[in-house]
Structure 1
């Protein structure tokens, strides 16, 4: 006869497995889904040797390419490019000055050739010189009206349905979820709560310096054309320690920019889960990895293979990519 504790543990695991299968309904029953459910079981069932108390169940997710699309260009860069075109009348010299000239002429190759420095110039010119409320309003207006050129959908609709289900599953199992992204923190905070159910105080990203000032008797925070924190690569674990103060036990990314975040998560004292979304579905989304200029996945892929991290094959493992592509 089996001991009572064994029977109870088996019942709990079986119930949790069934719930996981129901919650992750857009995931095919493959290795990745099984690994996710097994991990959640291990850290949430009190009788498990790997049980983690609720306050320490921290999960971190990259945004671009992990929770929503990042091809053919990062969404925030597209926002910056649209802002350049809107603001060009106030800056006539942009017509002859790169990278602004490349944007105004829709010369994508010239923009790519301008590299990180050129992109930073665009961001600084279009994201600063206003207060935080003005910037948020500009982003909200753009997000509400702008549609992606390929899918004809607004960007909040280009979030990955399987990842939304994963966020929900983790929340239901006591996880506190943070976005830790290279994208601008104020940009993401305008939509993160509505789209992902993640409140603004749980969004970490790149940021510009701000300055407190009184304008007509009203306190404001003015955005300055200077980087405060670049939340990519080694900047991610630094930001996690600075703004969260706890090491995550689950981390999900999709590119080499997320590698250090996954390494930091895997090195903790608790059982951990590290996952990467591998873009393999050119028909329903995009297919890219080692040679891509956006969301390059090379070093992180190699380390995932070496350390047994979960590599999610989008084409094979997701029944649906977006909510609108459900059959």
Structure 2
């Protein structure tokens, strides 16, 4: 009889123990429970909400959703460092914006150059080389650059709870993708190490690449011309183009993810939408409606009505980074 009781206790407690191991950096509460409930629903075979594994697609924004985006986007930090490194080859930059402001350390001056200036900055720092050369430049930068607030390598300033969420979804036969406004070839060198997401599952903004032969060796040259902007309405278009299935799970943090949130959660599978709300000024940053980076306004207003989970970083996460 004692053996039977022991077996019964093990069978009853095993699911609870397994659940306790899931999402360990998430506090118990509405947010964590909503995620677990959704995953349980779509993975319960024979249940009303069951979704076949091949249709379990999850998409994640990157900046502000999987890693920090303050005090500026990591890719902007890369651009600033590249301008400084290339400046000796371009004496004309000392009198030309936005390069002049960068070299003077004037962030407000950079902002004044607007979208036109940022595009020019991107072309100057991201084009004019082969794809292999650019990958090496980016990889070397990640190895040495440090975040201005935390003084850690940029690829360590990733959100531990979100990495756990990625692992949790994959353990339940989800296929996870990044769908970001950032440059795809800026993200790909580190996404597999940081998140377990391979390069082919990263969708981002691109510039034109062109096939060429250099000394009879095939190369892809990066040209100073925008190909695709994976932001706003571009995100659902990019998902359709590169994935070919409508996801059933989407996570973002800003109005740049609004169209992606709407498209995923209005599908026939009634997809799950979540927004990471930056509310922790001590451990990370606190911002939403007025931020120059990761502005969250329209999506914040509509989150409740559209049944998007609003994750309160301060209240819902025990830890934000592994280095805490």
Which range, TM-score by smaller chain? over 0.9
In the other structure, the counterpart of 1:146 is 145
Q: Deviations over 1:273-322 (max 9, x none)?
A: 10000000010000000000100000111121211110000000100000
For the aligned residues, what is the CA RMSD? 1.5
Q: How do 1:234-249 residues align onto structure 2 when only pairs under 5 Å count?
A: 234-249=233-248
Q: How do 1:36-55 residues align onto structure 2 when only pairs under 5 Å count?
A: 36-55=35-54
- Once residues 13 and 221 of structure 1 are traced to their aligned partners in structure 2, the CA distance between those partners, rounded to angstroms, is 57
For the 8 Å contact 1:17–1:37, the answer to whether it is kept is no
Query: TM-score, structure 1 length as denominator?
Result: 0.94
For the 8 Å contact 1:12–1:45, the answer to whether it is kept is no
Report the Cα offset of residue 121 of structure 1.
1.1
- Once residues 97 and 80 of structure 1 are traced to their aligned partners in structure 2, the CA distance between those partners, rounded to angstroms, is 16
For the 8 Å contact 1:20–1:169, the answer to whether it is kept is no
- Once residues 140 and 20 of structure 1 are traced to their aligned partners in structure 2, the CA distance between those partners, rounded to angstroms, is 37
Q: Deviations over 1:228-271 (max 9, x none)?
A: 00000000000000000000000000000000111110111113
Any idea what SS the aligned residue of 2:218 has? strand
- Once residues 36 and 14 of structure 2 are traced to their aligned partners in structure 1, the CA distance between those partners, rounded to angstroms, is 11
In the other structure, the counterpart of 2:264 is 265
- Once residues 195 and 72 of structure 1 are traced to their aligned partners in structure 2, the CA distance between those partners, rounded to angstroms, is 20
Q: Deviations over 1:71-109 (max 9, x none)?
A: 010000100110000000111100000000011001011
Any idea what SS the aligned residue of 1:191 has? helix
- Once residues 138 and 212 of structure 1 are traced to their aligned partners in structure 2, the CA distance between those partners, rounded to angstroms, is 20
- Once residues 309 and 11 of structure 2 are traced to their aligned partners in structure 1, the CA distance between those partners, rounded to angstroms, is 24
Query: TM-score, structure 2 length as denominator?
Result: 0.95
In the other structure, the counterpart of 1:291 is 290
- Once residues 11 and 44 of structure 2 are traced to their aligned partners in structure 1, the CA distance between those partners, rounded to angstroms, is 8
- Once residues 42 and 16 of structure 1 are traced to their aligned partners in structure 2, the CA distance between those partners, rounded to angstroms, is 15
In the other structure, the counterpart of 1:308 is 307
Any idea what SS the aligned residue of 2:296 has? coil
The answer on 1:322 being equivalent to 2:315 is: no
In the other structure, the counterpart of 1:280 is 279
Any idea what SS the aligned residue of 1:237 has? helix
Which residues of structure 1 form unaligned runs of 5+? 1-10
For the 8 Å contact 1:13–1:41, the answer to whether it is kept is no
- Once residues 114 and 101 of structure 1 are traced to their aligned partners in structure 2, the CA distance between those partners, rounded to angstroms, is 11
For the 8 Å contact 1:60–1:180, the answer to whether it is kept is yes
For the 8 Å contact 1:129–1:225, the answer to whether it is kept is yes
Any idea what SS the aligned residue of 1:269 has? coil
- Once residues 131 and 22 of structure 2 are traced to their aligned partners in structure 1, the CA distance between those partners, rounded to angstroms, is 37
In the other structure, the counterpart of 1:89 is 88
Q: How do 1:27-42 residues align onto structure 2 when only pairs under 5 Å count?
A: 27-42=26-41
Moved more, 12-21 or 126-135: 12-21
Which residues of structure 2 form unaligned runs of 5+? 1-9
In the other structure, the counterpart of 2:7 is none
Any idea what SS the aligned residue of 1:306 has? coil
- Once residues 156 and 56 of structure 1 are traced to their aligned partners in structure 2, the CA distance between those partners, rounded to angstroms, is 30
Q: Deviations over 1:125-147 (max 9, x none)?
A: 10000000000000000001111
